[in-house]
Structure 1
């Protein structure tokens, strides 16, 4: 059982930060698309109303991704709490997440 718990913990330690990073990637992609749509509208000189529906849908998509990100972060915290209760892990901070976040953010910057 302990070995099974260790393998499940290791899998979660990989998958949770990966999910967080992928949501961030999606948010960046949608934000980039949003910027391109607004820029194209302005630079082509079409009326302001042109593409407004598309812009509204992209804004909703951005907000949905922000909400998804928050839900995954809350799930991450809950999983850390479960780890403390179930396995007695002393998880003050998730080092795998901190390492991935730093690498990923420096690549984006």
Structure 2
């Protein structure tokens, strides 16, 4: 395997799980924001329930879109793992579970 493939693989092994974690973090942040917005609407005396409904719907759409992005990244992860097996001969039984974990490739090469 060429050094270029090793460097590229190390970069992907680092970056793909990191992207997955960041998307999960964004989904958690949106969920927290949704909780805060709905709680504020409920707890604010004198404000009709209709107020804030548009913001809540937009937050919901953003959450759905982010779940879609998460699914696409997971599919990309699988495709890249397949390419790694086919191209570089990696024996990938299990991808790194967290960003920064490297199996079979030196992380310092990236």
Bucket of the pairwise TM-score, normalised by the shorter protein:
0.7 to 0.9
3-state DSSP of counterpart to 1:93: coil
Q: How much does 1:48 deviate?
A: 1.1
Instruction: Indicate the RMSD between aligned Cα atoms, in angstroms.
Output: 1.1
The aligned runs of 1:1-109 (5 Å cut-off) are 2-45=2-45, 46-94=47-95, 96=96, 98-100=97-99
Q: Number of residues paired by the alignment?
A: 98
CA distance in 1, matches of 2:39, 2:23: 24
Rounded Cα–Cα distance in structure 1 between residues aligned with 2:70 and 2:98: 18
Structure in which a larger fraction of residues adopt helix: 1
List, as ranges, runs of 4+ consecutive aligned residues in structure 1 with deviation greater than 3 Å: none
Query: Between Structure 1 and Structure 2, whose CA radius of gyration is higher?
Result: 2
Q: Give the match's secondary structure for 2:92.
A: coil
TM-score under structure 1 length normalisation: 0.86
CA gap of 1:13–1:67, structure 2 versus 1, over 3 A, is same
Structure 1 unaligned residues grouped into runs of 5+: 101-109
Given that 2:41 and 2:52 are in contact with CA atoms closer than 8 Å, whether structure 1 keeps it comes out as yes
Give unmatched runs, 5+ long, in structure 2: 100-110
Superposed displacement of residue 79, structure 1: 0.1
Higher relative contact order structure (alpha carbons within 8 Å, sequence separation ≥ 6): 2
Shift of 1:31: 0.7
